[in-house]
Amino acid sequence: SEVPTPCPGGKKTEQARQSDPQNCIECDAGTFCAAGQGEEVCTAGHYCPVESTSPTPCSAGTFNPTQGSEDDTACRPCSPGKYCSGGNAAVDGDCSAGYFCKSAADMDTPSDDSDGKYGICPEESYCEEGTDHPTPCPKGTFGGSYGLESEDACTQCLPGKYCEETGLQQIDLESRDCSAGFYCTGSAESSQPAADSGQGRPCRAGYKCPAGS
């Protein structure tokens, strides 16, 4: 009898003992066929076009929980606050503190994306672990640097300045002097802090308080 000849990669046979390569047919989409092996279902985290010899991993920034996928449209963008290294059935984990991941992040400390989908936390905000959108530094504070990891990392508004809005940067303080007739001791949320605010007060009798005091 003739010696069986294995089908090449990407091909399969429906005959028990085939000896003619002409009898080999394309491996179906959603499956893969290694050389001389039978047809296998495409593994999760991957996709398999027609005549695949092995599964193709989903690209970094995506994942795929489904078996038997035929093309890369089955690969889903990584979930908000998560990162995906690629080729996996599920997300890898949370993005690191100091970074934000809105969608399709490919690592836990992603470089800035041109579309703003992920990157280091912007200067006026902070990003805790698993953040999808940066949180603005609160009133009475400003963001002193990029990559802040918590609200506590926001800097108290400087003496003589006021920070009445969320999400301020240090450069914004240049135009935010406390009003003449008042002084601001730090963390001021108003240019004219009340006496009981703990952030400054109206100038005391007998004292002079120019703008920025």
- For the chain, give me the number of helices (H) and strands (E)? 0, 18
Please give the distance of CA 54 from its chain centroid, rounded to a whole number: 30
User: In sequence order, what are the beta bridge partners of 80?
Assistant: none
| 165, pLDDT greater than 70 | yes
Q: Which of the pair, 146 or 8, is modelled with greater confidence?
A: 146
The one-letter amino acid at 163:
C
**For residue 147, how far is the Cα from the chain centroid?**
13
Q: Which residues of 92-105 are buried (b: 16+ CB within 10 A; e: fewer)?
A: bebbbbbbbbbbbb
Cα(166)–Cα(168) distance, integer angstroms? 6
Tell me the β-bridge partners of 85. none
Which residue type occupies 10?
A: G
Q: pLDDT tens across 48-67, in order?
A: 999 999 999 999 999 999 99
Q: Can you tell me the distance from the alpha carbon of 162 to that of 170, in angstroms, rounded to the nearest whole number? A: 11
Residue 163 has pLDDT above 80, yes or no: yes
Please tell me the least confidently modeled range out of 69-78, 83-92, 124-133, 190-199: 190-199
| Cβ-based burial of 35 (10 A; exposed 0-12, middle 13-18, buried ≥19) | exposed
pLDDT at 22 over 90: no
Q: What value does the mean pLDDT take over residues 69-82?
A: 96
What whole-number percentage of the chain has pLDDT above 70?
93
Cα(151)–Cα(135) distance, integer angstroms: 8
Beta strands in the chain (DSSP E): 11-12, 25-26, 31-32, 40-41, 46-47, 56-57, 62-63, 76-77, 82-83, 93-94, 99-101, 118-120, 125-126, 135-136, 141-142, 155-156, 182-184, 200-202
Measured in whole angstroms, the distance separating CA 152 from the mean position of its chain's CA atoms is: 22
Q: What does the pLDDT average to over 114-138? A: 95
Instruction: Answer whether residue 3 shows pLDDT above 80.
Output: no
* CA 73, 74, 75, 76 torsion-angle sign: positive
Q: What is the predicted pLDDT for the residue at 70?
A: 96
| pLDDT tens per residue across span 88-120 | 999 999 999 999 999 999 999 998 888 899 999
